[in-house]
Structure 1
Amino acid sequence: MKSERASFGSKLGIILATAGSAVGLGNVWRFPYMAGEHGGGVYIIVYIACVLLLGIPCIVSEFVIGRRAASNTARAYGILSGGKPWMLVGLLGVLTGFLISGYYAVVSGWCLHYIYASVAGHLHGSPDFFAGYFSSFETNPWKPAFWTLLFMLITHLIIIRGIRGGIEKASKLMMPILFVLLIVIVVLSCMLPGAMEGVKFLFEPDFSKVDGSMFLGALGQAFFSLSIGMGCLCTYASYFSKDTDLMKSAAQIAFIDTVVAVLAGLMIFPAAFSVGISPDSGPSLVFITLPNVFQQAFSSMPAVGYVVSAAFYALLALAALTSIISMHEASTVFFEEECKLSRKRAATIVTVACSVIGLVCSMSLGGYDLLTVFGRTLFDVFDFFTGQIMLPVGGFLTCIFLGWFLPHKLVRDEFTNHGTLRGRLFGIYLFCVRYVCPVGILLIFLQQFGII
C-alpha cells in the first residue's frame, strides 16, 4: 500500500500545497475584521502566541498521524489505534471537510462574480449602492449558483490530475501569484493619503483592548485559519516522504499563514483609514465596505481602482481555491481507497455531492422557506455546525488521541528520524498536545455557546 501511494515531488511542493490548505478566506477575510474588532496590534501579538502554542503542535500531530499511517484520514486513525473506535475521529475530519467544501464554494463563487463585476466596471456608486448590490446578488436564485458550480468545476479539474500533476503543480503556480497580488495591493494601499494611521492601528498595541473575548477570538482564529481538524493536513501528510522534517514543515506553514494574514491587514486597514471607514466593520468588510473603499481611495484614477478591486477578489478566489482543493482531496482519497474507485470517479462523486450542497446553501439565501431550519438558512446551518461544533470536537479528540492514546515512542520516532526534535523540545511539544491544546480548544468550544 505504502509503496504504491502517490507522493509530493519536492519539498517546495509540500510547503506550498500544505500552506495553501491553511491559507484561505480565514486569512484574507476573517483575520482583518477580527483584528479590527479587537484592537489591531495587541490582537496580532496574542494571535501569534496562539499559533505557536496551539497551531504548530496541532499541525505536527496531524502530520504524525497522516505520514505514519500513509492512508486517508479515516483509515489512518483506524490503523494507528488497531481498528478501535478512534477511526470515527478520522471519519469526522473527512466529513467536516466534505460539508465545509459545499458551502465554502458558495462564498468562493461570490469572489469569482466580484472579479467579473470589477473588470466590467459594475462596482461604482454610493455606500448604499454596494450594500444593495451585494444583497441583490446574494439573494438571486441563479447567479450565485452559476459561480458556485464554476468554482467546483475548477477544483474538480485540478483534483483529477492527481498529486504531482494537479495539486502540487497548481499550488506552485497559485501561491506565488497570491503573494504577488497581496504585495502589490499592500503597496498601493500604503501609498494612499492617511494610510499610515491604518499601519499604526495594525502594529501599535493598545493593551486596554485585552480581555477574555479577545484571547478566545485569537485562539479560535488560529485554530480555524490553520485548517486543523478537517482531514486536510492529515491527508497531505500521507503523501510526505520519510525525509520530510515534520516540525520544520509545520513551522514554515504556520509562518506563511501568519504572514498572509498580517499582509491582508496591511492591505485593508491603510485603505480603510484613508477614506474614513471604521476598522471594526465586521464580516461585511469584504463584499460591501471594500468596494466602496477602493472606489474612494482611487477616485482620481478610476481605472486603477477597477484593477485593484479585480486583483483583490482574484486574491480571495485563489486563497479559497487552495483551501477547497485540500478539503476536496481529503474526501476524494477516502472514496478512492475505501470504495476502491478510480481517482476520477471518486473525485466526480465528491464534486457532484459538494455542488448539490453548495446549490441548496446558495438558494437558501434567497428566502426560500423550505431551505431553512429553525429560522436559519441552510448556509448558516452548515457554517454553524461545521465551524462551531465539528471542527473543535475533531481537533480536541485528535489531541487526546495523539497525546494520551498513541505510544510516545511512536510519536517521537515519527518526527525525530533526522534528530530534529529531541529532549526538552519534544517534552514541550508533548505538553502542548496533552494539556495546552485540549484546554484551549475546549475554551473555544464553550465560548461559542456562551458557557464561559
Structure 2
Amino acid sequence: MAHNREHWTSRMGFILAAAGSAVGLGNIWRFPYITGENGGGAFLLIYLAMVFSIGLSLLVAELIIGRSTQLDPAGAFKKLAGGAWPLVGYMGILTAFLILSFYCVIAGWTLAYTVKSVTGSILVSDLDQVGSTFNAFITDPLEPVYYTAVFIALTVFVALGGVASGIERAARFLMPALFLILLVLVFRSLTLEGAGEGLAFFLKPDFSKVTWDTLLAALGQAFFSLSLGMGAMITYGSYLNRHDDIATSAVAVTLLDAAVAVLAGLVILPAVFAFGATPSAGPGLTFITLPSIFAQMPLGALFSALFFFLLAIAALTSAVALLEVVIVYFVDEGEANRRKVALIIGVITFALAVPASLSLGIWSGYTIGGKGLLDALDFFTNNITMPLGGLLVAIFVGWTLRRTAVAELVDGSAIAPVLVSAWHFIIRYVAPLAIVLILVNGLGLI
C-alpha cells in the first residue's frame, strides 16, 4: 500500500539508517583482515577509490529505483519495467533472507564474545588456546543457537516499530554509539607501545605489493561493504520523500561507511603489530588473534567487551535492513500486517539459522556442493546472487531507465551536470564490467 507508506522523518534519520544498513561485520571484521592480507596502505587507497566511484554509483542507482516507486524491490521493478525485471527484485528479497539466516549466527558470536569478555573466559594470551576455545564454541550444538535466538529477537524488536519509530529511532542511538566506541578503541590502540609500525602499514602505501588479486579484493570489498545487490538500499530508498536529495545523501552514507572501515583498521592493525601478531591472519583475526591481544592489554576485558559490543551493534543495524527487505515485500504486495509478518519471518529465519549453526559442528557431515549449510549460503549469496543483483541493477538503471534515471537523480538535488554525466557513464559501462569481474572471481574463474 504505497499511498499509506511510512517515510523517514528527516534526512539525517535516513542517512544514519542507510549507513547502519551498510556498516556491518564486513566493515569491522572483514575489512581489517582483507587489508592485512593485501599489503595495507595501497589496498586502502584502492578500496577508497572503488567505493567512492563504483560503490557510490550503484548506491545512487538503487536509491533511484526505491524513491521513484515507493515500493519494495519486486514491486519497484514491476512498476518501472515489468517483463522479467521483477525477477531481479525477487532475487534481492531472497538474497536478503538467506544472508539474514546465517548472518544472525555470526552476529550471535559477537554477543557471546561480549559476555565472554566480561567473564574473561576468552582472554588468554596463547593463540592456540584461544583458537581451541573459539572452535569449541562455534561447534557447540546449543550455546551459539541461544545467542542466535537472542540476536534475531533484537532484530525483530527493532523492525516491529516500523520505519520511523523502529529503524530510524534505533539508528539515531546505535550509530553514534558505534562511532563513540570506535573512537575510544582507536585511541587505546594508537597509544599502545609499538603501534606505529601498524599505523605505517595501514596508512603508508606500498604499491609494489599491489597485484591483480589486490584490485579484485578492493573491488569486492567496496561492493559488499555498501549492502548492494540485496534490495536493502532499494527498500530504504522507497521510504525517502518524493523530492529528497539522493546525491548528497548517498555521498554521506558512503562517507560514514568508509569511515567505519578506516577506523576499524586503526583499531585492529596497530594493535596487531604492537603485540607481534600477523596482520594476514584471515577471518580468525577477530575471534582468535584479537582476544589474545586484549588478554595482554591493560584493562583488556573492558576493551574486549567494548569491541565485541561494537561488532554486535554493527551487525544489528545491518540485520534490521535485511529483515526489512523481506517484511516490506509482504506489506506492499500482500497488504499484510507489519507486526505479524516481522514475527513470522523472525521464526522462519531462526528455523534456517539453527541448521546453519549446527553445520559447523554436529551436522558438519551434511554438505551442499562440499560445503556445510552456513558456508554454502555464504557462497551462494556473496559469490552469485549479490553480484548478479548488482550487475542487473546497473544494467537496468544505466540502459533501460536511462533518461528517467538521470531525471530522478537531479530531482531535489543541486548536483553539477558534469557529475551527473560521470555517474551515468560509470553506471552504464564501468560498474557492469567491475561487477562481472567480481562475479567471475567469486566463482573461481579467474
TM-score interval (norm. to shorter) = over 0.9
Deviation string 1:304-350 (CA, Å, 9 cap, x unpaired) is 10000000000000000000100100101112222221001111121
1:415 aligned to 2:414? Answer: no
1:120 aligned to 2:123? Answer: no
**In structure 1, C-alpha distance between the alignment counterparts of 2:359 and 2:413, rounded to whole Å:** 53
Q: CA deviation at 1:121?
A: 1.5
- TM-score normalised by the chain length of structure 1: 0.97
Structure 2 counterpart of 1:130: 130
**In structure 2, C-alpha distance between the alignment counterparts of 1:324 and 1:372, rounded to whole Å:** 25
Deviation string 1:398-420 (CA, Å, 9 cap, x unpaired) is 10111111141x11221212352
Structure 2 counterpart of 1:305: 300
Q: CA deviation at 1:422?
A: 4.4
**In structure 2, C-alpha distance between the alignment counterparts of 1:181 and 1:124, rounded to whole Å:** 20
Structure 2 counterpart of 1:76: 76
Q: CA deviation at 1:372?
A: 2.1
Deviation string 1:151-201 (CA, Å, 9 cap, x unpaired) is 000001110111111000000000000000000011001111001111111
Instruction: Answer whether contact 1:140 1:366 (CA < 8 A) is retained.
Output: yes
1:401 aligned to 2:396? Answer: yes
**In structure 1, C-alpha distance between the alignment counterparts of 2:281 and 2:288, rounded to whole Å:** 10
Structure 2 stretches lacking a partner, 5+ long: none
**In structure 2, C-alpha distance between the alignment counterparts of 1:223 and 1:337, rounded to whole Å:** 28
Q: Percent identity?
A: 43
Q: CA deviation at 1:449?
A: 2.6
Structure 1 stretches lacking a partner, 5+ long: none
Q: CA deviation at 1:29?
A: 0.5
Aligned amino acid, residue 44 of structure 2 = I
Aligned amino acid, residue 438 of structure 2 = I
3-state secondary structure, aligned to 1:450: coil
Structure 1 counterpart of 2:167: 167
Q: CA deviation at 1:2?
A: 3.9
Aligned amino acid, residue 183 of structure 2 = I
**In structure 1, C-alpha distance between the alignment counterparts of 2:2 and 2:141, rounded to whole Å:** 46
**In structure 2, C-alpha distance between the alignment counterparts of 1:383 and 1:156, rounded to whole Å:** 22
**In structure 2, C-alpha distance between the alignment counterparts of 1:345 and 1:34, rounded to whole Å:** 40
Instruction: Answer whether contact 1:360 1:371 (CA < 8 A) is retained.
Output: no
The alignment covers a number of residue pairs equal to 445
Q: CA deviation at 1:373?
A: 1.9
Q: CA deviation at 1:369?
A: 5.1
Aligned amino acid, residue 29 of structure 1 = W
Structure 2 counterpart of 1:105: 104
**In structure 1, C-alpha distance between the alignment counterparts of 2:178 and 2:260, rounded to whole Å:** 9
Map 1:209-288 to 2 at 5 A.
209-288=209-288
Q: CA deviation at 1:424?
A: 2.3
Instruction: Answer whether contact 1:275 1:293 (CA < 8 A) is retained.
Output: yes
Q: CA deviation at 1:451?
A: 2.1
- TM-score normalised by the chain length of structure 2: 0.98
**In structure 2, C-alpha distance between the alignment counterparts of 1:341 and 1:2, rounded to whole Å:** 13
Instruction: Answer whether contact 2:189 2:270 (CA < 8 A) is retained.
Output: yes
Aligned amino acid, residue 356 of structure 2 = C
CA-based RMSD of the aligned residues comes to 1.1
Instruction: Answer whether contact 1:181 1:315 (CA < 8 A) is retained.
Output: yes
Structure 2 counterpart of 1:331: 326
3-state secondary structure, aligned to 1:226: coil
Instruction: Answer whether contact 1:182 1:263 (CA < 8 A) is retained.
Output: yes
Q: CA deviation at 1:370?
A: 5.9
**In structure 2, C-alpha distance between the alignment counterparts of 1:388 and 1:419, rounded to whole Å:** 34
Instruction: Answer whether contact 2:20 2:314 (CA < 8 A) is retained.
Output: yes
